[in-house]
Amino acid sequence: MTLAAPGWPIETFYAIGDREVQVETLTAMVRVTNRSEIDVYLRAFARMARAALYGPQAKALIRKAVDACEA
């Protein structure tokens, strides 16, 4: 089975504590230092963290993906 990737994420971000967020876009890195904008990224990160799998659940999902690739 072959899966085609639809592309890659247009941006990623890294929070440096609560004082700065670095956003990597397709063509540039943007430093965000405005507190209200930083809060938007921190809330987005918290939502993603709540949706993520950890520990045995994450391992099971990874194993399932590996098994699908080997089938």
For the chain, which residues make up each domain, given as ranges?
12-70
The two structure tokens encoding residue 7: 């592309």
- pLDDT tens, 14-58? 999 999 999 999 899 999 999 999 999 999 999 999 999 999 999
pTM of the model: 0.73
Task: Over range 3-16, report the average pLDDT.
Answer: 77
Question: Which of 25, 23, 20 has the alpha carbon at shortest distance from 9?
Answer: 25
Contact 14, 44 (CB under 8 A): no
CA angle 14, 59, 65 (to 5 degrees): 90
Q: What is the dihedral of CA 50, 55, 60, 62, to 10 degrees?
A: 80
Q: What is the pLDDT of residue 4?
A: 62
Q: What is the pLDDT of residue 71?
A: 75
